[in-house]
Amino acid sequence: MTEFRKTDFQKTRARFRIPDGVIYLDGNSLGPLPIAVEERVARTLADEWGGQLIRGWNSAGWMVQPRKLGDRIARLIGAPAGSVVVGDTLSIKVYQALAAALAMRPERRVILSDSGNFPTDLYMAEGLIETLGQGHVLKVVAPEEVEAAIGEDVAVLMLTQVDYRTGRLHDMVALTAKAHAAGVVTVWDLAHSAGALPVDLAGAGADFAVGCTYKYLNGGPGAPAFIYVAPSHAETARPALSGWMGHEAPFAFDPSYRPGAGVERMRVGTPPVIALAALDAALAVWDEVDMADVRRTSIALCDLFIELVEAQCPMLELASPRDGSRRGSQVSFRHPQGYAIMQALIDRGVIGDFRAPDVLRFGFTPLYIGEAEVCGAVTILRQVMDGGLWDRPEYHKKAIVT
């Protein structure tokens, strides 16, 4: 791992607050705290909210933050400036993207997705179908069957690019091309892609995309989501949740809705100003990062982790693709006692997470994880497995969040 790099990962690592004694392999779930966020949030509270009060909407630029941050994220996902806006939760953005996509194919009734999709995406589709009451159906197939299931009956193909459990990576370019050839509109969920690997939405010709900012983008717990609308659809897309912030002129207080210009129409209500300030500071690290370096290094770290775990803990079964080019930035292993094993690891400072029924999930983020952490984590994992250290009553007790 000594190839030429434009990115100085020692420098990026110094930008995060990681507690002593912790090997943090859960940035794919909640990114760690960027140090710059502390100062920025303190300033937003004291100077902006405290000092400027309601004037801050104009004087501190609160109102334009959703669009400005959208542009910062756009650079990371291959989207042109002005095509991404930030706000609300990812579930809400899935709903809006799917509703807008369905409205583009009024004569078709099938939403195609896969069993690797995150449950909320499927739940939001179910809810939307019920609300529309037009007889749409949600067709869920196995990930490897998606390509064959794309046909002229399908209105929308809605997929999460990187499987949250296994890390399996869909081929966005090929599936989008196949979808378009059949007249299908695409919605991509980039929750496990943005900041994890290079994404080229414009190059792939994706129609809609959504994602969260609390994982690889390190925006903090509950940080707002983003939505992308291809420029070719942005002036006609129907946002479904037609809130006043997506109105053409919110402060005209017009009694009827007129959609705002382009992606602005996907805004719904008042933006979460403090969370946006945190996200703005968190995104600064990407100004000094080359995504190709992130990808190369992340694959090397994941490969090393797989090699060491398979050599030292043969009782764990690899659940992720072995080929790094077919994986996101995480590695998963299966074990019937996965939950207890993960609790024992966390107790010893190796923080990953567990996904039912049996998946131990580890995320690798070169911004603050290197070879030493990978080797250290596997040493502790081997101790936990060889010594049966996971088999203590407290490690079997399920917490609310796993």
| Site residues, ligand PLP (CB under 6 A) | 89-91, 118, 120-121, 160, 164, 189, 191-192, 212, 225
Establish whether 214 is a catalytic residue: yes
- Per DSSP, 351 falls in state E
Catalytic residue among 67, 215, 267, 355: 215
Establish whether 118 is a catalytic residue: yes
Q: In whole angstroms, how far apart are CA 66 and each of 35, 69, 111, 177, 221?
A: 22, 5, 29, 30, 18
Q: Is 160 annotated as a binding residue?
A: yes
Hunting for tokens 């599936």 — which residue is that?
175
Judged by beta carbon, residue 274 or residue 389, the one nearer ligand PLP is 274
Q: How far is the CB of 194 from ligand PLP (least distance, A)?
A: 11
Judged by beta carbon, residue 87 or residue 366, the one nearer ligand PLP is 87
Q: How far is the CB of 124 from ligand PLP (least distance, A)?
A: 9
Q: Are strands 33-34 and 330-334 parallel, antiparallel or unpaired?
A: unpaired
Q: Is 121 annotated as a binding residue?
A: yes
Identify residue 311 by its one-letter amino acid code.
A
What stretch of H or E contains 172? helix 172-181
Q: Is 176 annotated as a binding residue?
A: no
Identify residue 318 by its one-letter amino acid code.
L
C-alpha–C-alpha distance, residues 285 and 340, integer Å: 35
Judged by beta carbon, residue 120 or residue 383, the one nearer ligand PLP is 120
Q: Is 192 annotated as a binding residue?
A: yes
Catalytic residue among 24, 118, 208, 333: 118
Least Cα distance to 63 among 278, 246, 285 occurs for: 246
Least Cα distance to 283 among 71, 81, 80 occurs for: 71
Judged by beta carbon, residue 260 or residue 363, the one nearer ligand PLP is 363
Q: How far is the CB of 327 from ligand PLP (least distance, A)?
A: 15
- Per DSSP, 224 falls in state -
Q: Are strands 33-34 and 16-17 parallel, antiparallel or unpaired?
A: antiparallel
Judged by beta carbon, residue 117 or residue 298, the one nearer ligand PLP is 117
Catalytic residue among 88, 114, 163, 189: 189
Q: Is 391 annotated as a binding residue?
A: no
What stretch of H or E contains 23? strand 23-24
Give me the DSSP letters along 194-222.
Answer: TTTS---HHHHT-SEEEE-SSSTT---TT
Q: Is 214 annotated as a binding residue?
A: yes
Q: Is 321 annotated as a binding residue?
A: no
C-alpha–C-alpha distance, residues 355 and 268, integer Å: 32
Q: How far is the CB of 230 from ligand PLP (least distance, A)?
A: 20
What stretch of H or E contains 273? helix 273-283
Q: How far is the CB of 100 from ligand PLP (least distance, A)?
A: 17
- Per DSSP, 152 falls in state T
Establish whether 189 is a catalytic residue: yes
Binding residues: 90-91, 118-121, 160, 189, 192, 214, 244, 270
Binding residues for pyridoxal 5'-phosphate: 90-91, 118-121, 160, 189, 192, 214, 244, 270
Active-site annotation, residues: 118, 189, 214-215, 361
